[in-house]
Amino acid sequence: MMQLKLRQKTISYRTLSWLCVAVLLLSLTPLYAISFYNHACYDDYGYTIENHKVWQETGSLGEVLKGAADFTVGAHETWDANYTAAFINTMQPSLFGSDMYWISTVVLLTFFLASIWFFLRQVLVKTLHADRTTFWMAFSALAFVMIQFIPDVSEAFFWFNGGVAYTLSWSFVLLRIGTWIGFENCKKKHTKVLVYLLMLLLTVAVGGIKYTPLLLALLGDACLLLYAFAKKRPARWLELALSLLLVGLFIFTATSPANVVRSATLSEGLSAPMAILQSFFFGIALMGNWFSLPLVVVWAMVAWQIAEALHGSPKRFNHPIWITILCLCLFCAQLTPTLYTGNYIGDGRAQNTYFYTFVLMGCALSVYWAGWILRRTEGKTVFPAIGTAKKDGLRIGAFVVAMVLLIVGCVAYHPEGTEGYGPQNMASGSALMSLLTGEAQRYDEQMDEREAILSDPDQTEVEISPLEEIPAVFMGDDLNSNVVDYVLHLYGEYFDKESVRIAEEE
């Protein structure tokens, strides 16, 4: 009878974890659905002008790849030294057809989710030995808040150029860290060789991304190497070799002539010491701005649900204060590149990556502090329920309370610049409202009309009108940007027009 009750409770807990997965998948549906109405914008055209011509003339994917490589080599000297981001951006989906731009969201959002899944699996399952039920619950909850409360969803998942430069690049960094942890946990020699080769490929890829996520990767390497050498890990010298390669690639991109050209377009930056100091000021300010009930609930829920695994872990969790300070420094360091080069904390696409890091670091600290508390209360009566959470149903009870508080947080969500409170301000809520009201469909129709005019080979001088409706999750109208002359020039180059002008209002 006792075994039957325990089995029923286990099944109930497993059911709740799959409910979390179902909620995550349901929340993603509007984001994927609205992507079919999205269109390319701004630098999406600039990076694919030559490749668009190649595709139009040859229809050969091989020639497009060759064109991407040629562009990347040239951009290293003239505009964009970050070769990984530059190469991928030349493959912007709409160059194969304007109705293919939805692939952008599929690639950016799916790869983002995959990187979180892989990283958490290496940390929670392979390192802390949490059960699969706890892992899926943690993954679903963290992915949910990282997407729904993101500072700028349009620049993360609905703009290929900006999303590749930051969100996809950050995903590469997370994937590489997860692979590093997996390499440490590998037992079989041949598997270890394959994982090391994967780390090598990821190192080359990460070496060519934007400096904000690249700096995070370099600092992450420093922390992982310090731990590896302190523990005298057998593979520490192999890991050091990869880190030195990453440093070399950073120097290669940082000394590129393209950075001189690009810096001339930015406002005057700060000195290195001042940039570092201000990164702490603005970093703490951002954390305070993002600190919210939904995040606290998710962090606490993950720490609570993983408590059983922590209880049986051999790790001591001896340094919570030092680890907290380290995480604070790592988070704030991300802001240094943009402060140094342009005296600002970065556009929405850069701030998105800060937010991703903030959510994961906050969760990591919650788990670490929970482990520290458990170690200090072993054999005592303080918090005795934690060790018997599955038996008495407290894990399920904590989950229900967390869900209620999370719903309250969603209902009370009110980001800056929005009207009213509620889940319609969340990423999926906003996308769903645009779909239900027909706003996304009307935007698509307006963009189809604009692209039909621009694509007409019989018209060499064209006039286009500003858009009337734009879904909040999409990028704004290019014609309303503060560099509209540059945008019109891009249109002319991309669509092979002698001139492109804004139609005068009647």
Which helix (H) or strand (E) segment holds residue 175: the answer is helix 169-185
Spatial contact of 339 and 142, defined as CB atoms under 8 Å apart: no
In degrees and rounded to multiples of 5, residue 117 shows phi and psi of -60, -50
Centroid of chain to Cα 176 = 14
How far apart CA 496 and CA 494 sit, in angstroms, is: 6
- Phi and psi (nearest 5°) for 422? 140, 170
In 3-state terms, what secondary structure has residue 242? Answer: helix
**CB-CB contact of 35 with 431 (8 Å):** no
Predicted local distance difference test score (pLDDT) of residue 260 = 83
**Residue ranges covered by each domain of the chain:** 2-38+101-158+256-430, 443-506
The answer to whether 427 and 147 have CB atoms below 8 angstroms apart is yes
Tell me the whole-structure pTM to 2 decimals: 0.94
Asked if residues 131 and 57 have their Cβ atoms less than 8 Å apart, the reply is no
pLDDT values of the chain reduced to their tens digit, one per residue, 506 residues: 444 444 444 557 788 889 999 999 999 999 999 999 999 999 999 999 999 999 999 999 999 999 999 999 999 988 899 999 999 999 999 999 989 999 999 999 999 999 999 999 999 999 999 999 999 999 999 999 999 999 999 999 999 999 999 999 999 999 999 999 999 999 899 999 999 999 999 999 999 999 999 999 999 999 999 999 999 999 999 999 999 999 999 999 999 998 888 777 776 778 999 999 999 999 999 999 999 999 999 999 999 989 888 888 888 899 999 999 999 999 999 999 999 988 899 999 999 999 999 999 999 999 999 999 999 887 664 444 444 444 446 777 888 888 899 999 999 999 988 888 999 999 999 999 999 999 999 999 999 999 999 999 999 999 999 999 999 999 999 998 888 999 999 999 999 999 999 987 65
Q: What is the per-residue pLDDT for 387?
A: 47
Q: Phi, psi at residue 403, to the nearest 5°?
A: -65, -40
Contact 310, 128 (CB under 8 A): yes
Characterise 347 by phi-psi region: left (phi > 0), alpha (psi -120 to 50), beta (else): beta
* Nearest-angstrom CA–CA distance, 200 and 242: 7
Q: What pLDDT was estimated at residue 505? A: 67
User: In this predicted structure, what is the pLDDT of residue 261?
Assistant: 82
Q: Rounded to the nearest 5°, which phi and psi values hold at 501?
A: -125, 160
Burial 20-53 (b: 16+ CB within 10 A, else e): beeebeebbebbbbbbebbbbbbbbbbbbbbbbe
pLDDT at 147: 98
Q: What is the DSSP letter of 268?
A: P
